[in-house]
């Protein structure tokens, strides 16, 4: 059961493929002034808002909370990275710039869509996981993670310079290496998802993986192991590492 005070949020894990190399994912570095996960490397995402729910009502075949989170993931990725995923037809660079500017000025996402010929294709986003850490020292977010493929027609990403200070593309294993060397701040949920992504280096692999391990709610817990506290998640959800010493983990 999730904490009733948890804040609904959504995150989009993008797959950009080039030849046979492992797919690259888009990461943003959060500003050091942010209250939550300051300076951390995360995937684009943010809170679900009321307008996301209004747009989600157009898909009564989906769970309302899931649909609203997909809308939020699409909107937040435009706001934070200037990348338009989940649109039909594909959002070109000019329209992406216009939408990003409109959202920054306070225009509702639904209002902008009504003024264009674009519609949302929520099926482009595939549920990957759902996390709801309940740590007393941090805010509690109920975050749904989705995966989506970036098409070659998509233009280059650019940082929003408000909540985030830097963005880059990299395969999961490279970011894991940076975190292990202490060269990157990565919080517990992102770390576990990176380990899972490193095991599925191609988008087709990831789709097969989520078929075998459908998205389920992950609530970390603390358990005494080997005489010291460990931060754990349940087994059987597709994560290669499910327990780490509490002292070694960054939670927010």
Residue 44 has pLDDT above 90, yes or no: yes
Mean pLDDT of the chain: 90
Domain positions in the chain are 7-219
Q: What is the predicted pLDDT for the residue at 33?
A: 63
Mean pLDDT score, 137-164 = 80
Mean pLDDT score, 29-46 = 78
Q: What is the predicted pLDDT for the residue at 203?
A: 97
Q: What is the predicted pLDDT for the residue at 30?
A: 81
Mean pLDDT score, 118-139 = 87
Q: What is the predicted pLDDT for the residue at 227?
A: 92
DSSP per residue over the chain, as a string?
---TTPEEEEEEEEEB--TTSPPBEEEEEEPTT-SSSTT-EE-SEEE--HHHHHHHTT-TTS-HHHHHHHHHHHHHHHHHH----SEESPP-HHHHHHHHHHHHTT--HHHHHHTSS-EE-GGGSEEEEEE----TTS--EEEEEEEEEPPTT-------SSSEEEEEEE-HHHHHHHHHTTSS---HHHHHHHHHHHT--SHHHHHHHHHHS---EE--EEEEETTEEEEE--SSSS-S--EEEGGG----
Higher-pLDDT residue of 137 and 133 is 133
pLDDT tens profile 67-100: 999 999 999 999 999 999 999 999 988 999 999 9
Give the CATH number of domain 7-219; options: 3.10.20.740, 3.30.200.20, 3.40.50.720, 3.90.79.10. Answer: 3.90.79.10
Q: What is the predicted pLDDT for the residue at 153?
A: 56
Confidence category of residue 163, pLDDT binned at 50, 70, 90: confident
Residue 120 has pLDDT above 60, yes or no: yes
Please tell me whether the overall predicted TM-score, pTM, comes out greater than 0.85 for this model.
yes
pLDDT tens profile 185-240: 899 999 999 999 999 999 999 999 999 999 999 999 999 998 999 999 999 999 99
Confidence category of residue 26, pLDDT binned at 50, 70, 90: very high
pLDDT tens profile 172-189: 999 999 999 989 889 999
Residue 21 has pLDDT above 60, yes or no: yes
């Amino acid at each position: 059961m999730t904490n009733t005070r948890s804040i609904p949020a959504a995150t989009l894990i993008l797959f950009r493929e080039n030849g046979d190399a492992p797919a690259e994912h888009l990461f943003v570095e959060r500003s050091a002034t942010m209250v939550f996960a300051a300076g951390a490397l995360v995937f684009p995402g943010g809170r679900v808002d009321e307008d996301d729910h209004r747009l989600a009502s157009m898909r009564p075949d989906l769970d309302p909370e899931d649909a609203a989170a997909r809308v939020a993931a699409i909107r937040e990725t435009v706001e934070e990275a200037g990348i338009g995923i989940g649109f039909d037809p594909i959002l070109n660079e000019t329209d992406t710039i216009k939408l990003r500017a409109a959202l920054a000025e306070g225009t509702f996402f639904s209002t902008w869509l009504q003024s264009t010929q674009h519609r949302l294709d929520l099926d482009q986003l595939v549920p990957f996981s759902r996390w709801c850490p309940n740590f007393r020292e941090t805010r509690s977010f109920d975050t749904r993670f989705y995966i989506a493929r970036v098409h070659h027609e998509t233009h280059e990403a650019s940082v929003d310079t408000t909540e985030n200070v830097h963005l880059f593309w990299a395969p999961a294993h490279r970011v894991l290496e940076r975190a292990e060397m202490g060269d990157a701040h990565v919080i517990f949920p992102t770390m576990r998802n990176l380990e899972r992504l490193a095991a599925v280096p191609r988008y087709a692999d990831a789709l097969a993986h989520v078929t075998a391990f459908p998205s389920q709610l992950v609530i970390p817990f603390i358990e005494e192991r080997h005489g010291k506290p460990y931060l754990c998640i349940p087994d059987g959800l597709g994560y290669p590492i499910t327990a780490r010493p509490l002292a070694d983990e960054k939670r927010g």
